[in-house]
Structure 1
Amino acid sequence: MTASALTVGIVALHLLGALAALHAIRHARTPQGAIGWTLGLLLLPYVTLLPYLYLGSSRFLGYRVGHHAPAARPLPAAADTAPVDPGCARYAAISALQGRPFRGGHRLRLLIDGEVAFAAMLGAMTTAEHSLLVQFFIIHDDVLGRRLQQVLLERAAAGVRVCVLFDGIGSHALPQRYVDELRAGGVAIHRFATHRWRNRFQLNFRNHRKIVVVDGARGFVGGLNVGDEYLGRKPPLSPWRDTQLEIAGPAVADLQQLFAEDWQWITGAPPPLAPLPPADGEASALVVASGPADAQETGSLFFTAAIHAARQRVWLSTPYFVPDTAVRSALQLAVLRGVDVRVLIPARPDHRTVFLASTLHAYNAVRAGIGMFRYQPGFLHQKALLIDRDTAAIGSLNLDSRSFRLNFEVAALTVDHSFAAEVAAMLSADFARARAVDEREYREAPFLRRVAMHVARLFDPLL
């Protein structure tokens, strides 16, 4: 390459960097993000242009916003199905944010850890007679993955319409033959991908939802993906601690609608849709969906509103503790109100950078009076929230920026004293197997490790 060609190349890169910096100034979510991208793009475009292409977008474009797919059938209001618990009123902001009401008349079942949860989910799948909708972030071609594959093939062979979604990045190791075998057996299966030109290069936007809907009547949400590690069969993270929720009642139609939106985005056609299921239980429930296509930062607002509603306790279980300013402030204000605030996090890392950032956030939380606990037996992947004596949420949302803003997520917010008592008993057992975090964890860490924590925290918007 001649010197003149090299000069032209450098000038072109700086011009492209300047254009990208203008885009960052206009579209970055926070002033800090805008400053960081702008400085990098202006001063070192040869280093930052490519990462900005893949990581710089703040919105998932083209996706239908507002959780109303044209494929979905209109649902009656909650009052047309069953009465809702009066305690739902304090979550009116979350209901308004979702654009859907709480629904009454649900039966709830808490599924603790992989063996119990997959026995329930696979067992429910085998009973499907009309439709089976399955969505996971990760599907592995291992023992558990092949068990799932066999059930799906059996249901398709029995005439059930089977639709499966998996995330293209989360399931990057899934071999094509696994998908081909399912398609050959009559299963409609697709990877969730950005696939529209405006999102083409974006790796940030992932579909992290875990949804199973059987005949439109029974639904499952939670933290479990399909892989042997989720059954605790892969050290050093085993035993794997996780939780799933089985829900039967009207809100299953909202789960079905949510799946339909993702399916419509990928395929352009609706999946099979069942009518509104009967209301034959006592619990009230609201399906909470969030994602980068939302007009607002739904995930962060959900946690903030739920924490602000607490008067007695806020117990949280999350594998990644990287709260934003709003959620951190909500937790601190809850402590000042005299609320019992406890957060359960892992003692073992599965992602080193996130673990380092979480450790620094845990130190700051302890200093603010928040009870932080590290789960000792194995890796904690559970996403659970308990508010006071009547409210619990189980789903796929972590307490980090990725779940707040970058991933498509789902959870079920439930109001029912009996179910909340079950979740409280589960979390009490978890806290009994945990070690309280104190300030020494940070202060007595080696100097370079403390520096690494602060460097990791710089990447909070991507964690």
Structure 2
Amino acid sequence: MHFEWQDWLHLGTFVILAHLLGAAAACHAVLNTRTSQGAVAWAVSLVAMPYFTLIPYLFLGRSKFAGYIDARRLENEILRKSAHPTEWNFPDEAARLRGAAAGDPAEYLGHPTIRALTRLSGMPFLRGNSVRVLINGDATFDAIFKAIDAAKVYVIVQFFIVRDDELGRKLKDLLLKKAQQGVRVYFLYDSIGSFDLPKRYVNSLRAGGVQTHPFATKRKFVNRFQINFRNHRKIVVVDGECAFVGGHNVGVEYLGANPRLSPWRDTHIEVRGPAVASIQFVFIEDWYWATQRIPEVEASKTSTDDMSCLVLASGPADHQETCSLFFVEAINAARFRIWITTPYLIPDEAVFSALRLAVLRGVDVRILIPSRRDHRVVFAASKLYAYDALLAGVKIFRYRPGFLHQKVVLVDDMSAAIGSANLDNRSFRLNFEIMVLTVDRGFASEVEKMLLDDFAQSWEISRDDYLGAPAWRRMAMHVARLFSPIL
């Protein structure tokens, strides 16, 4: 191929322009990225490789969105003053817990931990709940569809991903059926997570009386150049009596229909009792942001058991990094065991330091991650973090049968948390997440049994997982980790 001098001139102009734009974008990243690690990652890549990183920066680079965050915080504060459940009206939850008897769940966790988490989440620590584990997609959606089918007053449905496949159509038909019966149905989906959801799906729901809205950082239109600040929550509430939270989205792959990732391993929970009001209030905040209206919902008065629960909702508009601090506090609270399952292992420095200190205290620290990948760069970075954790004494296991997507934390023999948050920067700082922390010896024992079954189908990695890899693959892991603050 022969280049004329004009071609070289055009190429040189392109190179100079790309580097000038890269330098400008790098300055923007330094000023606007939430963490110093993320700012460095973007600035270096934009200056050194602008041809490859300028376009991704348009989609991923914005992690500090002041106008949106200020508006979201203001609306949340207004809602919490005007629309919070009556169960939250108590003078001082921490003072009540200080009177807990020996052996009480509050006494077991320790007053500072309860006080820290209630203040961190802005939610109360509530008794009188029952929580049921739903293992994998069939159990989860059977329970959700059964509850929706029995709805008499209203149904709340919120998912990050909704697909127009067999499972999605089954959900749509059921929601339309309930709307025709006079049940109020609220349906919220993330505009980017469900980017391929056809308009006909949404229009069909709206035409059938289902109140349907996308969640987006801008109310008037979906900003396709802004895929941060995604609503990763999965929430279903029926009549204020039962709620469902966990890792499943609406798609047949969550039932194991994707051969490359099947069988899909995931966990949901069904909650009954006063904590349902906390879960649906999280939805109210999201719905109000999307619609500027408060849904007509009711609070459950039913006390079905004596489990204590705390709902932790986190997101980029929080005054503090709620999700990251939750993991730090849970790890620090562990006396003899902390087991975590996550599809993505990209901890920040605070969480990683807490894990190392737990090992030094003699705590049994285990992390279960997938052996199959769904994202190449994230998987490569996770392998290097797994190796570093292994050197610190953390036991790392890889789930053999299929892709592991569950998000579970088990602390000692009394408390467990299940929800939507991953152990990565996106959940810590960029996504809206929800976790339900339970304090109950029987439920913790049930979660322990579930995780022991998972560990039995897993293999514990050794240093060879990293050292035995070819040099080019190890280099790829290190390069991938450079982007961990923005993954």
Aligned counterpart in structure 2 of residue 351 of structure 1, from 360, 371, 375:
375
Tell me if 1:396 matches 2:401. Answer: no
On the 8 A contact 2:163/2:194 being kept in 1, the answer is yes
- Offset of residue 15 of structure 1: 7.0
Tell me if 1:57 matches 2:81. Answer: no
Which residue does the alignment assign to 1:141?
Answer: 164
Cα gap change, 1:41/1:376 in structure 2, threshold over 3 Å: closer, same or farther? Answer: closer
Q: Percent identity?
A: 54
Which residue does the alignment assign to 1:342?
Answer: 366
- How does 1:222-371 map onto structure 2 within 5 Å? 222-371=246-395
- Offset of residue 18 of structure 1: 5.7
1:257 and 1:217 map into 2 onto residues whose CA distance is 13
1:410 and 1:315 map into 2 onto residues whose CA distance is 19
Deviations 1:242-299 (A, max 9, x none): 1001001111111111111111111111112213433331111111111111122211
What SS does the corresponding residue of 2:258 show, helix, strand or coil?
coil
Which residue does the alignment assign to 2:154?
Answer: 131
| AA in 2 matched with 1:165 | L
Aligned counterpart in structure 2 of residue 27 of structure 1, from 25, 32, 54:
32
1:401 and 1:103 map into 2 onto residues whose CA distance is 29
Which residue does the alignment assign to 1:376?
Answer: 400
On the 8 A contact 2:114/2:125 being kept in 1, the answer is no
1:372 and 1:15 map into 2 onto residues whose CA distance is 43
Cα gap change, 1:384/1:269 in structure 2, threshold over 3 Å: closer, same or farther? Answer: same
Deviations 1:304-335 (A, max 9, x none): 11100000100111111111111111111111
- Offset of residue 3 of structure 1: 12
| AA in 1 matched with 2:175 | L
What SS does the corresponding residue of 1:64 show, helix, strand or coil?
helix
What SS does the corresponding residue of 1:153 show, helix, strand or coil?
helix
On the 8 A contact 1:69/1:261 being kept in 2, the answer is no
Deviations 1:346-396 (A, max 9, x none): 111111111111111111111111011011111111110000110000000
Which residue does the alignment assign to 1:85?
Answer: 105
Which residue does the alignment assign to 2:191?
Answer: 168
How many matched pairs?
463
1:19 and 1:444 map into 2 onto residues whose CA distance is 41
Aligned counterpart in structure 2 of residue 75 of structure 1, from 79, 86, 97:
86
1:377 and 1:7 map into 2 onto residues whose CA distance is 51
2:72 and 2:208 map into 1 onto residues whose CA distance is 31
Aligned counterpart in structure 2 of residue 118 of structure 1, from 141, 148, 156:
141
| AA in 2 matched with 1:148 | L
1:412 and 1:147 map into 2 onto residues whose CA distance is 27
TM-score (norm 2): 0.88
On the 8 A contact 1:78/1:104 being kept in 2, the answer is no
Larger deviation: 155-164 or 173-182? 173-182
Deviations 1:58-117 (A, max 9, x none): 234244228545273443337699988323533321211111221111011111111111
On the 8 A contact 2:274/2:299 being kept in 1, the answer is no
Which residue does the alignment assign to 1:445?
Answer: 469
Which residue does the alignment assign to 1:187?
Answer: 210
What SS does the corresponding residue of 2:288 show, helix, strand or coil?
helix
Cα gap change, 1:40/1:314 in structure 2, threshold over 3 Å: closer, same or farther? Answer: closer
RMSD of aligned residue pairs (Cα, Å): 2.7
| AA in 2 matched with 1:140 | R
Tell me if 1:100 matches 2:156. Answer: no
What SS does the corresponding residue of 1:289 show, helix, strand or coil?
strand
On the 8 A contact 1:78/1:103 being kept in 2, the answer is no
Deviations 1:129-169 (A, max 9, x none): 11111001111111111111111011101101101111112
1:10 and 1:321 map into 2 onto residues whose CA distance is 36
Cα gap change, 1:10/1:346 in structure 2, threshold over 3 Å: closer, same or farther? Answer: closer
2:221 and 2:167 map into 1 onto residues whose CA distance is 36
Which residue does the alignment assign to 1:432?
Answer: 456
Cα gap change, 1:332/1:151 in structure 2, threshold over 3 Å: closer, same or farther? Answer: same
Larger deviation: 199-208 or 117-126? 199-208
On the 8 A contact 2:123/2:312 being kept in 1, the answer is no
What SS does the corresponding residue of 1:120 show, helix, strand or coil?
helix
Deviations 1:164-209 (A, max 9, x none): 1111121122111111111111111111112258994321221110
Consecutive unaligned residues of structure 2, counting only runs of 5 or more, are: 1-5, 98-103
2:196 and 2:73 map into 1 onto residues whose CA distance is 30
Aligned counterpart in structure 2 of residue 208 of structure 1, from 225, 232, 235:
232
2:353 and 2:84 map into 1 onto residues whose CA distance is 39
